[in-house]
A and B are shown apart, each in its own frame.
Chain A
């Protein structure tokens, strides 16, 4: 699924990154605990999380994840957005809660 579709399905806005139509994810994973995310080893995964610390970006960076979808309408601090930009990770943000964002994406065929 292209990130442009993720944007449209979840009503998200793009906080950092560009050319969303060129970035593709094949899976999604939702968690607020970083070690839980780190246990997964699939690079082509969209990380869905309510955590907006620099460690969210670091976690994605370690795993080579292309994009993060921040849920629950969390404000993304400037330094976190900057870190996403410098590490080349696309950062999206939506007001939907994790359950609904996950449900909508799953319903549209993005597998776990």
Chain B
């Protein structure tokens, strides 16, 4: 599954698009940054409700392929700009992290 496939199948809004041909390897749902740093695998889709600028720093550090901001939340423009510089994809979803995880899991991202 690629970044492009995830965007297509979730129907979420794209806040900023990075490398869409990149392979997505697994999913991680978490709102604690230290936990993501310690445990999320590179290439993961990360579902969270955090919109803090530190999210981008952590995502870049771990090598996250997509950040999905859940529950209809949106990031401030400086956060989006920062993500663009890191070639990160950010999606906005109306769904909760539970539902986003569920949908991706059912799509085969295990």
Contact = CB atoms under 8 A, between A and B. Distances in A.
Contact of A36 (B27, B31, B95, B99): B31
Contact of A98 (B49, B99, B101, B104): B101
Nearest to A101: B101
Given A36-B49, A99-B47, A107 B31 contact: no
A102 B31 contact: no
Interface of B (DSSP majority class): mixed
Given A50-B30, A72-B35, A99-B27, A106 B97 contact: no
Contact of B97 (A30, A107, A111): A30
A102 B105 contact: yes
A31 B102 contact: no
B85 interface: no
A106 B30 contact: no
Nearest to B102: A106
Contacts of B35: 32, 50, 72
Contacts of A29: 96, 98
Contacts of B47: 99
Interface in B31-45: 31-32, 35, 39
Interface in A48-86: 48, 50-51, 72
A106 B105 CA distance: 8
Contact of B31 (A31, A72, A100, A104): A31
Interface of A: 28-33, 36, 48, 50-51, 72, 97-100, 102-107, 111-112
Interface of B: 26-32, 35, 39, 47, 49-50, 71, 95-99, 101-106, 110
21 contacts: A31-B31, A31-B49, A32-B31, A32-B32, A33-B31, A33-B49, A36-B71, A72-B35, A97-B28, A98-B29, A98-B97, A100-B110, A102-B105, A103-B106, A105-B102, A106-B98, A106-B102, A106-B105, A107-B106, A112-B95, A112-B96
